[in-house]
Copies of this chain bind each other. A is one copy, B any other.
Amino acid sequence: MSGNAPRQLHLNINALHSGFVPSAWRLPHSDPNVFLDVNHYVRLAQLAERACLDAIFLADNAAISDQLDMRPITALEPTMLLTSVAVATTHLGLIATASTSYNEPYNIARRFSTLDLISGGRAGWNIVTTADLPSARNFGHDTVPDHATRYARADEFAALVKTLWNSWDDDAFIADKSSGRFVDIEKVHPADHRGRFFSVRGALNLPRSAQGHPVLVQAGASGDGRELAARHAEAVFSASQSFDESRAYREDLNARAARHGRGPNAVKVLAGLTTIIGSTESEALRRRDELVDLIPVQYSLNRIAGTLGVPVDSLSLDKRLPDDLPLPNGGNGNHTFFNATLAQARAHGYTVRELIRALAGGGGHRVIVGTPEQVADDIEHWFRNGAADGFNLMPDVLPDGLEAFTEGVVPILQQRGIFRRAYEGKTLRSHLGLSVPEGAVLDTH
């Protein structure tokens, strides 16, 4: 992107199986098997690519961490799913979630590098530390590891992965048939890392990609999470419920990044946004109500209680949330959704029943219900006034909620000059306006 081009919006599709609303699978035309169907994800990616979106994003849990009896879960492993998507697309960015708590740095560096090379430089890694107990219990723990330890591990992990990604100088690969020299191993550098959590000799067995290395993405809301983002992330997914909160978050994050020596707007803030779109506002509201009415009440109560770390029977549908709620797990819980859920309830004085409707089922992300024009207005307002650099789109139902967005909202954003009509480059870094990182990254651990 040239330096004088107008600032452009970034849009990812968060391809959460049947859609963000937990009852999406129950609609008459929904196929409940899509959470196990690679073709579903390929179809979503191709829809997104036709609309010139920046990337497809896949969340993840290495556990059954939602209520499987009532809705689909994240199931197929995301880096593998995106490898299939990579060969069926040409431009779309491919962002997968992977945990620093339950993986090894060498394996993660290698898998994201594999995705980056197979896709021609379109990979991104969403770094999570994984706060849920079911995941912890699948990896040798009886309790969730302590919040500070998880983030210290994530920090060392991310720095080490960057070092591994930069193992090969860009001119290391020779492949000179006449001399028989394949790689100049003087230009392939061991990591020689010995830190608090990891000892890794390196080098990685893969060179850099067309975009240098994968884009680092994160979603931290806590102090530790923001510091991790400020040190490493090039894009963050936020769960802000209000314009003011999101703008303050974005400013705080970039101020923190500047303190780590990074340039202005080094971190792109992409706000989570669930869209429920109708051709009129009342049609959209009817669609929302139909979807919410199909969610078992018990599901939403369990979800909110889990996020807030309170017993389900402490919630009454027609009362407000209890006052003075501490973060669950003695401060070790997931700040993102705890903060977002509380913010939504407090800002409007919602009862639990009203909160469920506003959140379309109890997840912590912001929900907007309206016409394509109304959705575009909201997006433009946040974008032009510094509350977001873009959005991580979480349509109510997939694939049709995505189609409603790409056919209804994207053309309006294009007409207003804030969203591309064609890709300018072929890498995720190009779409996000990020430069190719230098080869050498100092590992400070």
Contact = CB atoms under 8 A, between A and B. Distances in A.
A114 interface: yes
A107 B32 contact: no
Contacts of A33: 175
Given A64-B205, A104-B102, A177-B32, A84 B118 contact: yes
Interface stretch (A136-144, A256-264, A357-365, A368-376): A136-144
B139 A104 contact: yes
A317 interface: no
A437 to B, nearest CB: 19
A16 interface: no
B62 A106 contact: yes
Interface in A38-66: 38, 42, 61-64
B203 A36 contact: no
A25 B77 CA distance: 33
A185 B138 contact: no
Interface in A58-76: 61-64, 68-76
A341 interface: no
A343 interface: no
Q: Sort chain A's interface into a size bin.
A: 35 or more
Given A25-B175, A107-B103, A182-B25, A36 B207 contact: yes
Contact of A64 (B42, B137, B140, B188): B188
A294 interface: yes
Contacts of A63: 106, 205
A408 to B, nearest CB: 26
Given A104-B102, A177-B25, A84 B84 contact: yes
Given A80-B83, A185-B68, A205 B114 contact: no
A181 B180 CA distance: 62
18 contacts: A23-B180, A25-B175, A25-B177, A28-B177, A33-B175, A36-B117, A68-B188, A69-B182, A69-B184, A73-B205, A81-B118, A102-B107, A103-B107, A106-B138, A106-B139, A138-B201, A138-B202, A139-B200
